[in-house]
Amino acid sequence: MTSPTAPEPVRAGAEADRVQVLGGGLMGLAVAHALARRAIPVTVLSRRRSEAAGFVAAGMLAPHAEGLSGALLALGQRSLALVPEWVATVEADSGLPCGLRPCGIVVPFRDAAARDAYPTAAWGTPLDRRGLEQEVPGIGAAWQAALLFGQDGQIDNRRQLMRALERACVERAVRFEEGTEVVELLRETGSGALSGLRLQRANGQTLTMASRRAVLCGGAWSARLLPELPVFPVKGQMLSLQAPRQALSRVIFGPGTYLVPREDGLLVVGATSEAGAGFADGLTPAGQRQLELGLTALLPEAARWPPMERWWGFRPCTPDEGPLLGESPVPGLSLACGHHRNGVLLAAVTARLLADRLSGNGLAKPSDPDLDAFSWRRFSSERIDPQAPSAGA
């Protein structure tokens, strides 16, 4: 990128000893907070935090309801177990509520055979039509069976968690540079290790910051900074309705549509999955119609509830829909990106893993199995086409 102004000199000194977190969304805030709680100086560099996926996601904590499998299910279960403690630290540091609700999630099916074949059926309570109606009064007639995952839940990320995390970071002396885009990673000759960051501010000014340790939390935009990473956007559109208070106590996770009831009666409806949309902004009639049809099929009476808001965002996806955690192709740069539709769920474990990796006295520590399982190296021997996501994306 060509700058209209001459670059400032390198900002070195104490700044080089800080950890720079590249991205101020949910993952960046969670990692920054975890590092700051271990007395590690942190700076968050963010182009525009309002575009982060953490502000648009529905906030489900649903490794079982999502039907995850293998290493991703294990990572989700580990994170789910960490969530209460993680939320408690955020609330203690910020003095603000995060909106955690262990409300349980119902996954409806058209018949018992489909229910019993679900990948995570062993972790759920099977329901017949009568049991389903007891859990979700007014559920559509097409659904004859269900699984209740009482251990899954939700958190109000848009209105509470993100604000609480920001405040918690400030209280822990995290430094923020908003309106600052990282446009280039600077590397040492020979070793290729991270040596600095080339930045551009909103006013066009460019500068270079010395940096030996950084964490890439760039969400769907991560591959723009490090093209070796197979991270691409999957657009999602959503809407919300104002339901009668206590009209729905459980999250409903249907095929292609989910309904997430907040404690104050707001009902979040999501989400489209548009892998071919790239970074195209805006709502589309087709996407909104898809949401409305899915809503009516799951809960017909909800079609009469007044609409509140409509929005969209970009999930950061990888070919196998698992995140990229830990080491990167650039020594000194760690990864915390590519979480796809499970970013809210995986924030707690991601923060723990990255804090473990970057803390300590410099002595070698045993690698965490989850860092190994979700290393970028699992794609390094493949030719990845970011425009050709997997069928499930």
Domain that holds residue 130: 102-152+232-316
Is pLDDT above 60 for 123?
yes
**Tally of domains within the chain:** 2
Mean pLDDT confidence for 144-167? 97
For position 370, what pLDDT does the model report?
A: 95
Q: Domain containing 136 — which CATH number?
A: 3.30.9.10
For position 10, what pLDDT does the model report?
A: 45
For position 15, what pLDDT does the model report?
A: 61
pLDDT digit string, tens, across residues 295-340: 999 999 999 999 999 999 999 999 999 999 999 999 999 999 999 9
Is pLDDT above 90 for 53?
no
Same domain, 292 and 387: no
Closest by Cα among 294, 269, 248 to 142: 294
Q: What angle do CA 68, 59, 243 make, to 5 degrees?
A: 120
CA dist 251 and 136 (Å) reads 9
Is pLDDT above 60 for 144?
yes
Longest Cα–Cα distance in the chain: 70
Place of tokens 């808001």: 309
Same domain, 208 and 173: yes
CA dist 152 and 217 (Å) reads 25
Task: Count CB-CB contacts under 10 A for residue 114.
Answer: 14
Interacting residues of 343 by C-beta distance below 8 A, sequence separation 6+: 26, 27, 53, 54, 57, 315, 316
Interacting residues of 82 by C-beta distance below 8 A, sequence separation 6+: 348, 349, 352
Interacting residues of 159 by C-beta distance below 8 A, sequence separation 6+: 99, 262
Same domain, 300 and 236: yes
Same domain, 292 and 384: no
CA dist 178 and 50 (Å) reads 11
Q: Domain containing 63 — which CATH number?
A: 3.50.50.60
- Percent of the chain exceeding pLDDT 70 equals 91
At 12, the pLDDT band (50, 70, 90 cuts) reads very low
pLDDT digit string, tens, across residues 261-295: 999 999 999 999 999 999 999 999 999 999 999 99
- The residue from 316, 339, 359 where one domain ends is 316
CA dist 207 and 204 (Å) reads 10
- The residue from 316, 350, 365 where one domain ends is 316
The DSSP 8-state label assigned to residue 11 in this structure reads: B
Same domain, 162 and 82: yes
Reduce the secondary structure of 172-225 to three states and give it as a string.
CCCEEEECEEEEEEEECCCCCCEEEEEEEECCCCEEEEECCEEEECCHHHHHHH
Same domain, 216 and 271: no
Same domain, 133 and 94: no
Chain mean pLDDT for the chain = 91
Is pLDDT above 80 for 136?
yes
Place of tokens 């822990």: 172
For position 251, what pLDDT does the model report?
A: 98
Same domain, 159 and 81: yes
pLDDT digit string, tens, across residues 196-205: 999 999 899 9
Is pLDDT above 50 for 220?
yes
- The residue from 294, 316, 338 where one domain ends is 316
Is pLDDT above 70 for 393?
no
At 362, the pLDDT band (50, 70, 90 cuts) reads very low
Reported pTM: 0.91
Same domain, 306 and 172: no
Same domain, 171 and 67: yes
Same domain, 64 and 109: no
Closest by Cα among 187, 210, 207 to 199: 207
Task: Return the higher-pLDDT residue of 30 and 363.
Answer: 30
Bridge partners (DSSP) of residue 253 are: 258
Mean pLDDT confidence for 110-115? 98
Is pLDDT above 90 for 9?
no
Same domain, 222 and 236: no
Q: What angle do CA 314, 158, 92 make, to 5 degrees?
A: 130
Is pLDDT above 70 for 44?
yes
Task: Count CB-CB contacts under 10 A for residue 162.
Answer: 23
